[in-house]
Amino acid sequence: MTGVFRYAGQALAYLGFALLLGYFASAPAYTYRPADRAEVKLSFSHGGERKGGCRPLTPAEIAKLPPNMRRSQACPRERVPLVIEMDVGGQLAHREVLPPSGLSGDGPSRAYRRFQLPPGEHRLALRLRDSERRDGFDYESSFTVALRPRQNLVIDFRAEAGGFVIR
Amino acid sequence: MQSIKRPLRLAFAVTERVFDRAFGPAWNPLHNLGALGFFYYWIVAVSGIYLYIGFDTGVERVYASIERLTHAQWYLGGVMRSLHRYASDALVAMALLHLLREFSFDRMRGVRWFSWLTGVPILWLVYASGVSGYWLVWDELAQYIALTTSEWLDALPFFGEPIARNFLAPNSLDDRFFTLLIFMHIAIPLILLFILWVHLQRLSKPRINPPRGLAIGTLAMMLALSLVHPAVSQPPADLAKVPGDVGLDWFYLAAYPLFDHLSYAWVWGLAGVLTVGLAALPWLPPLRRPRAAVVDLEHCNGCGRCVQDCPYAAVAMVPRSDGQPFAQQAVVDAALCVGCGICMAACPPSMPFRRIAELATGIDVPDASLNDLRERTHAAAERLSVSPRVLVFGCDCSVDMAALANESVAGVSLPCIGALPPSFVDYVLSRGLADGVFLTGGSEGACVNRLGIQWTELRMDGERDPRLRDRVPRERMARRWAARHEATSLAGEIAAFRAQLATLPAIRPPAPAQPADIRETVA
Ligand code: HEM
Ligand code: SF4
Ligand code: SF4
């Protein structure tokens, strides 16, 4: 092949590669979430009560402990699992039992859930149990929210703020 | 596995021939994939340093700082950003092609596992570098990457507080996160560079720089693309909204849509299976393992040519142990040797002329020994009955020698054409075993044994030891590097060579052995 044709061939190859790079570096677009949806994220990190509560130690038990570790109560480290429920528009939309984290079950329970809802007004009711009770809930809240398309609404839980909060 | 490899290899061979015509074998990008990868890496590194200088790690200021570079300083910052992006993309394209090509050539079987196995973490690191880079821009694409990647990572049981909670709402993200991210985006590519260095440790003379013409062309293309179609950000991230349509960089993010169709645990499983499967390929059957080269100290003079020529750094020189008056001797590390025989051809005593019953040399490969080669050369010559007679030396990875054979063409196949001592050409012609010698082997720049073709050319052209002797009539020699599928055109060239030989005076075929005729010839 003559020189000119060779360089033309090279130019063609470079052009092809450039087109490939230029196009696929940012296209075609991918639709992560449809435009006519909003998202509600339920996410929090909260530790349930310790299992069994504390119990006073007998004098004999106290005497057996090394002197620098003597205390009057034995408290279990393991926490109870949380129970979370969410209603959307009066219907149960989600129920989950959240075990505590950590190898000995002494860390907080963590929640991270996404829900897609159509935009518009929704009534959300949330309930959380974080104690040893068998039924009923320790925290309950409800919110009326007006969701815009592609809005990201976050429901967090903060015991120190008194329960569920919208962020 | 062969059913994937064979068509893949054919596809590469055919495409490489097309590229050969435009670029020539030396500049052919497909022969320089690894070297191009390094070249792209350096472009990314240099442009990255420039971008880092203008980069602000505050959550509120990240996006604006990149916008400033892109638009206010389009002629420098913008070009650097585009180079950074496009060279990173080219790096992925190159790495994947390189992987496929090495796979199709079986360049990872048996003792050649090392480069392949170290290539697997390279892939992970390349992707991690790219993903962390897009995350830094903090536009809608970055937000999408942040959400999916962090949720995916949280599916592993190692992390305490879920990482995804950093991206819940506008006020959950702090500056520290971007400081961590930029640290990762620098650390991961540095680890990548280190593993790239490890990747080449078992190869001798690895080609890590592309030929100048190819480098200039590639850089010019990247610059032109950066000016014509600069890399830009998507709208700024807003954690109060969910990203909708995001323009993906498919080189890095092609697998991301999977996250919306499979559970995170499945994607982890899939990634794990692919990684382990890829890493295990060198050991999957059928595992043909030629025996390693063996040094015969009686014939080794410690010249070191075998060390110079072995493509896999499998031979080393050590102090002499047998009392012969040489300082050094060769030793083979069997764990690195692929049995290509290139060292045997380099060794000075590898001469067919000597009249001993069993030829021996300093270093030899048991599965294709020097003696064996001489016997096969004689056997092939005896099959030639019609002049001009052509003896073809080829290699096992190129055109099948049997397919070329007829009454005037006979072939001898070697593990690699680099395993042919040049003295064999002299031997065949001076003994009248044939009227011409034709050399062939895998296509140019695509030698399965990396350096076999290169050494053969230099040796035959008298530019590297062992050199073909001056007395050999060059008009009775021809060579053509051909891929496996090119049997027809190779046969055509051999026919043309025969026609050229027909114009030369005939050579007397060997008389029945007359021992007195045979001189002992030593280099
Ligand atoms: C950025 C990515 C990479 C770069 C820059 C790179 C670079 C190189 C270079 C320069 C060579 C030497 C070529 C020669 O002189 O013959 C090489 C060889 C090789 N690479 Fe890579 N590589 C990369 C990724 C990979 C990956 C992902 C794999 C496979 C998983 C891989 C597998 C191999 C193999 C099998 C060889 C040949 C070893 C042999 O001939 O025995 N590489 N690479
Ligand atoms: S090429 Fe042959 S003689 Fe030279 S060091 Fe190697 S084995 Fe010894
Ligand atoms: S046969 Fe010789 S050249 Fe080939 S890998 Fe083994 S030692 Fe190296």
Q: What is the CATH number of the domain that holds B104?
A: 1.20.810.10
Q: B38 and B26 share a domain?
A: no
Task: Assess whether B449 and B413 both reside in one domain.
Answer: yes
- Token pair, residue B347, equals 């060794």
Residue A47's DSSP bridge partners are: none
Residue B95 lies in a domain: yes
Residue A1: pLDDT band (50, 70, 90) is low
Task: Indicate the burial class of A99 (C-beta count within 10 angstroms; 0-12, 13-18, 19 or more).
Answer: middle
Name residue B409's amino acid.
V
Assess whether B92 and B48 both reside in one domain: yes
Distance of CA B135 to the CA centre of its chain: 32
Q: What is the DSSP-derived secondary structure letter of residue B241?
A: B
Q: Which residues have a Cβ under 8 Å from the Cβ of B343 and sit 6 or more positions away?
A: B293, B305, B306, B309, B310, B315, B330, B332, B363, B365
Burial category of A87 from C-beta neighbours within 10 Å (exposed 0-12, middle 13-18, buried 19 and up): middle
- Does some domain include residue B154? yes
Best residue among B203, B218, B252, B455 to mutate for probing ligand 1's pocket (most ligand atoms within 8 Å of CB) is B203
Calpha distance B246→A29 (Å, rounded): 5
Q: Is B301 in the pocket of ligand 2 (CB under 6 A)?
A: yes
The SS3 assignment for B417 reads helix
Considering the domain architecture, whether residues B347 and B467 belong to the same structural domain is answered as: yes
* C-alpha distances in Å from residue B207, one per residue of B9, B31, B198, B200: 21, 10, 14, 9
Q: By the 8 A CB rule, do B498 and B476 touch?
A: no
Amino acid present at B205: K
Three-state secondary structure call for residue A130: coil
Residues B328 and B347 in one domain: yes
Alpha carbon distance B28, A103 (integer Å)? 57
User: Are B24 and B41 members of one domain?
Assistant: no
The reply to whether B129 and B145 lie within a common domain is yes
A38-51+79-166 folds as Immunoglobulin-like (2.60.40)
pLDDT of B522:
43
B369 and B432 assigned to the same domain: yes
Single out the residue of A137, A81, A133 nearest to residue A107, CA to CA: A81
Could you tell me how many residues make up chain B?
523
Same domain (yes/no): B1, B40:
no
Q: Considering every ligand atom shown, identify the ligand nearest to the alpha carbon of residue B346 and give its number.
A: 2
Q: Which residue has the higher pLDDT, A118 or B358?
A: A118
Say which residue the tokens 């008009």 belong to: B475
Ligand number nearest to the C-alpha of B310: 3
B514 falls within a domain: no
Closest CA to B306 of B298, B297, B295: B295
Residue of B246, B71, B226 lying closest to A22 (CA atoms): B226
Q: How many domains does chain B have?
A: 3
B259 with B372, same domain? no
Note down the domain range covering B133.
32-282
Compute the count of residue pairs across chains A and B with CB atoms less than 8 Å apart: 122
Cβ <8 Å between A154 and B168: yes
Domain-embedded: residue B510: no
pLDDT score for B517 = 43
Segment A65-78 mean pLDDT: 80
State which residue of chain B sits closest to A147, comparing Cα positions: B241
Nearest alpha carbon to residue B145 among B272, B246, B44: B246
More confident: B269 or A133? B269
Query: Average pLDDT of each block of 10 consecutive residues along chain B (523 residues)?
Result: 83 89 91 96 97 85 91 94 98 97 86 93 98 95 95 86 87 86 96 97 92 96 97 94 94 95 94 96 80 94 95 94 92 92 95 85 94 94 92 91 91 94 95 94 80 94 93 94 88 95 82 48 42
B101-110 burial, b if ≥16 CB within 10 A, otherwise e?
bbbbbbbbbb
pTM score, two decimals?
Answer: 0.85
Number of neighbours of residue B8 by Cβ within 10 angstroms? 15
Structure confidence at residue A146 as a pLDDT band (50, 70, 90): very high
**Within B54-112, where are the H helices?**
62-67, 79-104
Same structural domain, B343 and B273:
no
CA–centroid distance, A101 to ligand 3, in Å, is: 56
CB under 6 Å to ligand 1: residues?
B 34-35, 37-38, 91, 95, 98-99, 102, 107-108, 112, 115-116, 119-120, 122-123, 126, 196, 199-200, 203, 206-208, 450
**Is A4 near chain B, with CB under 8 Å?**
no
Asked if residue B137 belongs to a domain, the reply is yes
ipTM value for the complex: 0.87
Residue A95: strand, helix, or coil: strand
- The verdict on residue B289 lying in a domain is no
Domain boundaries, chain A: 1-30, 38-51+79-166
Task: Give the bridge partners for B478, in sequence order.
Answer: B438
**Bond into B210 cis (ω within 30):** no
Before B286, cis peptide (omega within 30)? yes
Residue B376 within a domain: yes
Instruction: Note whether residue B521 is domain-resident.
Output: no
Radius of gyration of chain A (CA): 28
Give start and end residues of each alpha helix (H) in B281-391: 305-309, 342-346, 370-382
